[in-house]
Amino acid sequence: MKSLFIISLTSTIVSAQILAQTSAAYQRFGYITVNGTRFLQNGEPYYIAGANYWQGMNLASDFSWGGNRTRLENELAHLQSIGINNLRIMAASEGPDDQPFRMRPSLMPSPGIYNEHILTGLDYLLDALDKHSMTAVVTLNNYWHWSGGWADNDSDIPYPPSWIPYPVNNYSTGSYDEFYDYAYRFYDDDTISSTTNQLFKNHINAIMMRRNTINGKLYNEDPVIMAWEIANEPQLAPKEWTSEIAKFIRQRSPYQLVTAGIEGKYGFEDFWNTHSSTEIDYTTCHLWVENWGIYNASDSSSSNLQSALDYADSFISNCSGWAVGMGKPMVLEEFGMARDAWRDPSFPLYKYNPGTATTHKDTYYQHILQLIQKLASHGASAGANFWAYSGDGYPSDIPNSFDMVWIGDPQHEPRGWYGVYHNDTTVSVIKEYAQSIVNGQ
């Protein structure tokens, strides 16, 4: 609800409106707004030609804190050159940093304590996105373990089996179901949920009210932030919880959009529960054919690929139909496929050499992006972000001093599984989509 913003923001809102009317520069990077099932920027249709770039704040931090701004600048310039206009990024990661699988160094090593070097990385990234004419979807939490955890101060986290058996599988102490139940307590375990949600709200507040040290802008008044996303894949979150958190965000910024970050895999009821609140501006879907057992990454046959394409058609059409029914935009904000490694099914351990071809992946990307574009032409989708951009990073890179290799695949997944390198043939598929969707239907 746009009318619920807090009083103290009123004067900034008025000045923002005046600025928007008077400053051409401001309009160029104006806030993204929602008109029915479409996004607009300064009155013109705005479609997402996007990438996932969760590692951005760490890459943008100072070299001594594990970043590499030369690389970041190269990568953003490359993404801009192929027509990418939106990056989905993380603005949350929790310590302690001796836990497995995590983004290191973390943004928040312990509750309420921030690593200013990583926050400065986030400042730098947001400023750089503005310079490259991109917007950001800023993710504030994560259901999964690769960026940290809040509940119970990390005691006995039942880490699920890693998708990569080596070298970190020995940290896994639980099943996916056990981890799911553990994380779900964030919403509904009375013994911790008031604390975890207060810590979460404190975090949201700290991020949204931050003043960027590079350009002086307040985050909650910076149009480079198209949207705040409650969490990466909040699983079956209670409707009231989603609405309450979304409202908390809206009260701190009436102009930036709010979304939840779900996959849509649980079907219409969950999609509706998550997105029907007036506090949620647009809907999201994530599509994972291998992880969900549709696509067999050991099988090079065209029928295997075809089953992935058919499933994608059905899944995306369903999400699109639900979103249109609710009168809100829909963004496919994650999808991906493995390279043509045809893993040995009895030994799924695989290092994805960047020289491995991507024939299935390229066909899959093209099929999905053409469907997204076709739907967009009649307002039934608002665009897509592929998962994920690795840029100039390769699995074989020497880990930095924090033992991290920054590529598009998080630590719990095989390096190179889903990432797109700057020199992949997939890039031309993405470029074709980006240029046609951004240049209008």
Choose one: 54-62, 69-77, 271-279, 365-373; the region binding ligand NAG (CB under 6 A).
69-77
Q: Does 351 bind ligand NAG (CB under 6 A)?
A: no
Hey, which residues between 6 and 45 contact ligand NAG (CB under 6 A)? 35-36, 40, 43
Interface characters, 203-242, with ligand NAG (x: CB under 6 A): ----------------------------------------
Name the closest residue to ligand NAG (Cβ): 71
Identify the bridge partners of residue 258 per DSSP, sorted by sequence position: 228
Minimum distance from CB of 211 to ligand NAG (Å)?
Answer: 25
Is 299 a binding residue for ligand NAG by CB under 6 A? The answer is: yes
Q: What is the DSSP letter of 387?
A: S
Among 9, 122, 424, 427, contact with ligand NAG (rule: CB under 6 A): 424
Question: Shortest Cβ distance from residue 299 to ligand NAG (Å)?
Answer: 4
Bridge partners (DSSP) of residue 286 are 334
Under rule CB under 6 A, residue 55 binds ligand NAG = no
Residues 27, 42, 74, 99: which binds ligand NAG (CB under 6 A)? 74
Q: Which is nearer to ligand NAG, 83 or 111 (CB)?
A: 111
For 292-388, list the strands marked E by DSSP.
Answer: 330-335, 383-386
Q: Would you put residue 123 in left (φ > 0), alpha (ψ -120 to 50) or beta?
A: alpha
Scored b (16 or more CB within 10 A) or e, 361-388 reads: bbbbbbbbbebbbebbeebbbbbbbbbb
| Cα–Cα distance, 187 to 198 (Å, whole number) | 11
What 3-state class would DSSP assign to 383?
Answer: strand
Residue 211 pairs in a beta bridge with: 218
List the one residue from 109, 111, 174, 238 that touches ligand NAG (CB under 6 A).
111
Q: Which is it for strands 48-52 and 257-259: parallel, antiparallel or unpaired?
A: unpaired
Q: What is the CA radius of gyration of the chain?
A: 20
298 binds ligand NAG (CB under 6 A): yes
| Strand intervals (E) in 102-172 | 135-139
At 96, list the tokens: 């302690």
Per the document, the length of the chain is 441
Site map (CB under 6 A) of ligand NAG, residues 119-158, x = contact: --------------------------------x-x-----
Tokens for 322? 């639900």
Residue 195 makes contact with ligand NAG by CB under 6 A: yes
Residues that bind ligand NAG (CB under 6 A): 35-36, 40, 43, 68, 70-71, 74, 111, 151, 153, 167, 170-171, 192, 195-196, 296, 298-299, 311, 314-315, 318, 345, 354-355, 392, 394, 421, 423-425
